[in-house]
């Protein structure tokens, strides 16, 4: 009997190990789809949380939480959150040691919900008594799976654990799905054969620990916050597989609580705190999509020629390369340049690629390096003689992206090199001619830009 118990525990550990290994792989499409529904729920939780209890404790810990910001709390649905959803799916729907030729894939979930003991669970799933399960390793794996479900129901599922360092403070973030009520039922939808409904809540605990060395006794030493929001997790089973998603509950029930807070003491200020270990900085991701507006200026001909521009941009994150984020999108600009009696006005539109790389200790300030290409069309007026302008331009830029809040970023863009190929066609039917211009840094048609990006 002791050997069976030991063997079951070993299998249980192997199952957990496999789950952990699975988290390191690229998330599946189903995992990412589920992750986006959970990410939306967490976003609602943070934005609509009402404060429970006293909002400002000693040392104003709320100001430190605001320093972290929503973007620092939310996990990336394309990476760690998607991987966690694959792991949850594995534990709930794929870990069961079933003989699928004789049993439906959702039956263990149904039996776990409806049966109040392991004996009844085995009888319901396999139509056998515990002693009749064979071989022995199969019986042990069934026992381990049942224990896994019991543990999941009792302790919940931790789907995100991260550590972020910002301005001499360490933020440890842990988010879990606490499962309270397990229900199920059949549906009339031909696509879905069975639905498992798990009601519970999302809990995100944020532990803050700051270095007090050289600070005052009004500075924060440590604090702990917790966000909570009710939610529902649905699993729809069918012969084609299963679909999983988090569905909204009442957003007005979102709560933020201050669980503990401590200020720095005289001893903390005078001596180093050996227990404080600054964790490696993690990149705080940009929003998945941004819309930007820009204004710019450029100079040529020994600063006698001036170019002004207004522009707009749309970007969407397509891939994360380590701590770097690659965005693609489109940009449009209206430019006008003047030199003595010559004035050119043209409109450009085309694709753009931008790579964002964190450079600050907090991971918030980013270097933006990009490549853009535009089709150009417009007009040129030279002392009363008018030409139709058409052509293209290609440019490489660099710059900075600095957050102003969770969804608003100040953007500075400096041209590195810009090439224009423009055709001038006189409106009076004269001879057309082509002009090629390559500018390094700021020049004619190569403008330095200042703007704002709005994330969503």
For residue 60, pLDDT beyond 90: no
CATH 2.40.160.20 applies to domain 289-455: yes
What's the pLDDT tens digit per position in 314-367? Answer: 998 887 776 678 899 999 999 888 777 778 888 999 999 999 887 765 556 889
Exposure of 444 in the CB half-sphere (CA atoms within 13 A): 20
Q: Name all contacts of 109-115 with Cβ < 8 Å and 24+ positions apart.
A: 109/184, 109/196, 109/235, 109/237, 110/184, 110/194, 110/196, 112/146, 112/149, 112/182, 113/182, 113/183, 113/184, 113/196, 114/184
pLDDT at residue 279, rounded to an integer:
42
In angstroms, the CA 251 to CA 31 distance is: 24
Confidence bin at 431 (pLDDT 50/70/90): confident
Percentage of the residues of the chain whose pLDDT score is greater than 90: 18
User: Is the sign of the CA dihedral 116, 120, 122, 125 positive or negative?
Assistant: negative
pLDDT at residue 107, rounded to an integer:
59
Confidence bin at 98 (pLDDT 50/70/90): low
Contact of 424 with 400, CB cutoff 8 Å: no
For residue 116, pLDDT beyond 90: no
Residue 93: partners with Cβ closer than 8 Å, 6 or more residues away = 105, 106, 109, 235, 237, 242
Residue 409: partners with Cβ closer than 8 Å, 6 or more residues away = 286, 290, 401, 402, 403, 452, 453, 455
* Domain assignments of the chain as residue spans, ordered by start: 2-270, 289-455
Neighbours of 332 (CB within 10 A): 14
Residue 191: partners with Cβ closer than 8 Å, 6 or more residues away = 236, 238, 240
What's the pLDDT tens digit per position in 154-165? Answer: 888 999 999 988
pLDDT at residue 238, rounded to an integer:
62
For residue 17, pLDDT beyond 50: no
Residue, of 187 and 288, whose pLDDT is higher = 288
pLDDT at residue 193, rounded to an integer:
63
The whole-number average pLDDT for the span 121-139 is: 74
Residue in 294, 361, 282 with CA at minimum distance from that of residue 325: 282
In angstroms, the CA 144 to CA 37 distance is: 30
Tokens, residue 173 = 């973030």
Residue, of 414 and 287, whose pLDDT is higher = 414
pLDDT at residue 313, rounded to an integer:
94
3-state secondary structure 18-51: HHHHHHCCCCCHHHHHHHHHHHHHHHHHHHHCEE
Contact of 401 with 356, CB cutoff 8 Å: yes
What's the pLDDT tens digit per position in 325-340? Answer: 889 999 999 988 877 7
Q: Considering the chain, what is the average pLDDT of its residues?
A: 77
* CA-derived radius of gyration, the chain: 30
In angstroms, the CA 151 to CA 21 distance is: 19
- Listing DSSP states for 345-395 in one string gives EEEEEEEEEEEEEE-STTS-SEEEEEEEEEEEEEEEEETTEEEEEEEEEEE
- Report the range of poorest mean pLDDT among 192-206, 417-431, 433-447: 433-447
């Amino acid at each position: 009997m002791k050997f069976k118990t030991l063997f079951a525990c070993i299998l249980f550990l192997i199952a957990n190990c496999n789950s952990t290994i699975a988290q390191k792989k690229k998330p599946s499409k189903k995992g990412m789809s589920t992750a986006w529904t959970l990410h939306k729920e967490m976003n609602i939780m943070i934005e609509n949380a009402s404060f429970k209890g006293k909002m400002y404790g000693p040392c104003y810990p709320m100001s430190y939480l605001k320093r972290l910001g929503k973007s620092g709390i939310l996990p990336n649905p394309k990476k760690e959150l998607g991987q966690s959803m694959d792991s949850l799916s594995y534990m709930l729907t794929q870990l069961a040691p079933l003989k699928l030729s004789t049993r439906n894939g959702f039956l263990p979930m149904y039996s776990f919900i409806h049966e109040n003991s392991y004996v009844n669970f085995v009888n319901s799933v396999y139509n056998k008594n515990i002693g009749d399960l064979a071989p022995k390793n199969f019986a042990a794996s069934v026992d381990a799976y049942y224990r896994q479900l019991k543990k999941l129901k009792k302790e919940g599922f931790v789907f995100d654990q991260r550590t972020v360092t910002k301005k001499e403070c360490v933020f440890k973030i842990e988010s879990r799905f606490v499962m309270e009520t397990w229900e199920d039922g059949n549906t009339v939808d031909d696509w879905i054969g069975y639905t498992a409904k798990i009601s519970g809540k999302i809990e995100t605990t944020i532990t803050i620990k700051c270095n007090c060395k050289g600070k005052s006794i009004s500075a924060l030493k440590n604090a702990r916050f917790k966000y909570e929001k009710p939610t529902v997790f649905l699993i729809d089973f069918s012969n084609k597989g299963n679909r999983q998603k988090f569905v909204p509950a009442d957003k007005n029930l979102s709560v933020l609580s201050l669980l503990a807070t401590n200020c720095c003491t005289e001893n903390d200020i005078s001596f180093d705190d050996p227990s404080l270990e600054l964790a490696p900085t993690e990149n705080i991701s940009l929003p998945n999509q941004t819309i930007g507006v820009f204004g710019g200026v450029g100079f040529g001909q020994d600063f006698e020629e001036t170019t002004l521009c207004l522009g707009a941009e749309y970007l969407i994150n397509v891939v994360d390369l380590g701590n770097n984020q690659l965005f693609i999108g489109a940009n449009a600009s209206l430019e006008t340049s003047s030199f003595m009696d010559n004035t050119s006005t043209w409109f450009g539109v085309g694709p753009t690629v931008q790579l964002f790389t964190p450079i600050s200790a907090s991971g918030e300030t980013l270097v933006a390096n990009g490549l853009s290409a535009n089709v150009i069309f417009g007009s040129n007026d030279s002392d009363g003689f008018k030409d139709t302008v058409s052509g293209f331009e290609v440019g490489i830029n660099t710059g900075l992206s600095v957050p102003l809040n969770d969804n608003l970023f100040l953007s500075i863009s400096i041209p590195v090199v810009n090439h224009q190929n423009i055709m001038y066609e006189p409106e009076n039917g004269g001879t057309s001619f082509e002009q090629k211009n390559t500018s390094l840094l700021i020049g004619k048609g190569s403008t330095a830009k200042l703007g704002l990006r709005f994330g969503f």
